[in-house]
Amino acid sequence: MLEKLSDKSNFKRFPKPVLLVIMDGVGYGRFAEGDAVRSALTPNLDWLHEHCPATSLQAHGTAVGLPSDEDMGNSEVGHNAIGAGRVVAQGAKLVNQSIADGSIFERDTWRDLADNCRSHDSTMHFIGLFSDGNVHSNIAHLRAMLERAAEEQVGRARIHILLDGRDVGETSALEYVDPFEEFLRELNGAKGTDYRIASGGGRMYITMDRYGANWQMVERGWNTHVHGQGPQFAGAREAIEKLRAESGAIDQDLGNFVIAENGEPIGRIQDHDSVIFFNYRGDRALEITAAFEQDEFPHFDRGQRPHVAYAGMMEYDGDLGVPKKYLVAPPTIEKTVGQYLCASGVRSLAISETQKFGHVTYFYNGNNSGKIDPDLEEYVEVGSDRVPFEQRPWMKAAEITDRVIEAVSGGDFDFIRLNYPNGDMVGHTGVYQAAQIAVETVDLCLGRLRKAVEKVGGVMVVSADHGNADDMYEHDKNGGVKHENGVIKVKTAHSVNPVPCLIFDPGFQGEYRRELRQGLGISSLAATCIELLGFEPPKDYDPSVLQWENN
């Protein structure tokens, strides 16, 4: 247990509670056209901007531990940064470093998987998100592993591709498939290997479910990758083109497919094979990992479960030790806000619906499951609806708000952190009207929270983990909206826009300046909340947005 935080000098007022409200996917857009936040009716958010201290925070790139400022932020690294109070090198950066210095291939995990294939003359399988979106994975990592496998005389590999269309262009799959097929042809020709794409499908249709929201996705992926069950095609390009023509679906929603020759799948996963799930982000990797690793598995009938050597790109859950083997060690995030507050006796509530529950708990707590101190913490998960988000863009925001207002009024908590997923999850659908409604839903909830906080004399910090709904259209370098066949090109990925930081403090007595610090990242939310709770932030935390009159 960490040492207790010291009291903040000359700040005797201790408001109860301090709320940290994360408007997931709500940023400050650069372009009016395509900005569903700007075009939404948001009287409560507008009021906060007009009457409260405000600044903007960076929520992407190096500000959240990603390799470069061209990399979009995401909810996982965002909540890591918010909970850590400082910038921590994240998945993509760690994997990049380990590939660059070769350490990924020197670890026992890689050696064991490669040795397994050589000793059994078996196949090395790679499953993961097939793009360079740098949120869950990067196709460059896959290429590097295949090149190394070929050098180490692993003769046969099969790749099971999960189409993106979410962190990259919504119909960009062939921009990745065609060059990759050429890469495989060249590698096979130079090394005499047999490396081929074996199966695939959209990331929101197979394999990549999270938080137990829809195990049927994982079951479809398991049957596709492992058993070779699904519509058969001669190649990935043919599969994508025909499935698009039949369904009209964008990449993330495209159906599953199996590559076959003479009616036989070319890439079933069988006994003694090696399997690498090459996503480095944990939330959408845990369920498929469980299907491979757990002996007792109640979620669906796996059929004949092959005995394989399995590994993830990274450790997805440090507390649970999942997966058992991984290629790159995850960031070790210690001294989190949650740990400090528990050491200081602060009573905390964390709440969201299923889609983001893990973000205000697991990711916020430094990639660790479970409570830090059950006597001081309560975690509330509101079950998400299992319907397409564009059909119900209000999601569970009202239910979250009901529970938070109850907690504020009851006085049982000093610190409450909550996440409204609407701007992000609905933004990912690309449906503009739905995204507007999502933002307006969150705005209504902010108005309700404001009244509850004002009634008890608390403080509300309103921010976000990254943008999304603020940038719903693709733009060219001059800011013009892109079109394809006369139709606006929809953007389903996160934005690289800054996010709000608003301080609603009805009991304000001039302790700090109304002008907040500029040029900070979302990691500064930690020190901000710690100060508003009446404590001095740890010295290694990024600075608070507050500028104190006595400093």
Give the residue among 398, 473, 489 at the shortest CA–CA distance from 438: 398
What residues contact 451, with CB distance under 8 A and at least 6 apart? none
**Residue 503 corresponds to which tokens in the numbers above?**
């301080």
In Å, how far are 57, 249, 253, 327 from 165, measured between CA atoms?
27, 10, 8, 26
Going by C-beta distance under 8 Å and a sequence separation of 6 or more, which residues neighbour residue 222? Answer: 207, 288, 291, 300, 302
Q: Give CA separation, 253 vs 321, 383, 515, in Å.
A: 31, 22, 45
User: What DSSP letter does each residue of 391-444 carry, written as one string?
Assistant: GSTTTTHHHHHHHHHHHHHHT--SEEEEEE-HHHHTGGGT-HHHHHHHHHHHHH
Give the separation between CA 7 and CA 483, rounded to whole angstroms: 56
Cα separation of 425 and 76, whole Å? 14
Q: How far is CA 491 from CA 141, 250, 257, 467, in A?
A: 25, 11, 25, 12
Q: Whose CA is closest to 460, among 521, 405, 397?
A: 405
Parallel/antiparallel/unpaired status of strands 348-353 and 326-328: unpaired
Strands 194-202 and 257-261: antiparallel
Q: Which of 56, 75, 463, 544 is catalytic?
A: 75
Please tell me the distance from the alpha carbon of residue 318 to that of residue 312, in angstroms, as a whole number.
Answer: 13
Q: For strand 156-163 and strand 194-202, is the pairing parallel, antiparallel, or unpaired?
A: parallel
**Which has the closest alpha carbon to 173: 82, 92, 239, 247?**
239
Catalytic residue check, 369: no
Contact 449, 19 (CB under 8 A): yes
Burial of 24 (0-12, 13-18, 19+ CB in 10 A): buried
314 sits in which H/E element: strand 309-314
Q: How far apart are alpha carbons 418 and 405 in whole angstroms?
A: 12
Give start and end residues of each alpha helix (H) in 429-536.
432-456, 524-532
Active site residues: 75
